[in-house]
Amino acid sequence: MPRITKEDKARNRRNIVDAAGRMFRSHGIDAVGIAELMKEAGLTHGGFYNHFASKDALVVEVCNASFAASLGVLAEAVEQGSDSAGSPLERVVADYLSTVHRDAEDGGCPSASLVTDAGRQSQHVQAAYTKGVEGYLAGFASEIVRAAEESGQPIGPSEARERATRLLSELVGAMVLARAVRKVRPDLSEEILQTVRSHALD
């Protein structure tokens, strides 16, 4: 029987995390069993515990990885600065509240796709989700401060934090509602997205 190298083991672990990320975001954490998850990752059921002590440990890693990817998109937008499509936050809002994100088969950003699940999971999972939320709040607040200074109307960190909290709450709430009604009322779903897109940065 061929011996599994460190590279193979690392690749298999990434495959598990990637598959779990897609399945958790699209179906919900509790709806995904280890057997179907490992099948999706192209691995055998019994191999799961060679990588993770429990499903809970996997969920934590998925939260961390998913938020890291989403926050990387935010960081990239900030680094690019303003362009013809608007300021970094304007582009982030437009992308987040797009029909493409709403209809993403993998559930898209974990802030909205895992929001209900996180409240039902262990403290370890909630801690990972909270870390992601804090990352968004910090990123938003930093960009809000920068934009305010650039406009000649500087604000303090407390006000920036409040605006960041409101912004994230509006984005997540709008996405959850838009997804909840899209099949029976696509017009209402689009109305929700469009309304919040238009006023999230007021």
Instruction: Look at residue 2 in the predicted model and tell me its pLDDT.
Output: 58
The pLDDT tens digits for 49-68 are: 999 999 999 999 999 999 99
- What pLDDT, on a 0 to 100 scale, did the predictor assign at position 183? 97
Interatomic CA distance for residues 164 and 149, integer angstroms: 16
| pTM recorded for the entire structure | 0.91
Q: What is the pLDDT of residue 179?
A: 97
Domain 54-199 in CATH: superfamily? Answer: Tetracycline Repressor, domain 2 (1.10.357.10)
Instruction: Specify the pLDDT at position 28.
Output: 94
Supply 109's token pair. Answer: 């950003």
- How far apart, in whole angstroms, are the C-alpha atoms of residue 178 and residue 191? 8
What is the C-alpha R_g of the chain?
A: 19
DSSP conformation letters of 116-133: HHHHHS-HHHHHHHHHHH
Predicted pLDDT at 114: 96
Residue owning tokens 């909840």: 180
Q: What is the pLDDT of residues 101-119, one digit of tens each?
A: 999 999 999 999 999 999 9
Q: Which residues of the chain have pLDDT under 70?
A: 1-3
At 6 the pLDDT is 86
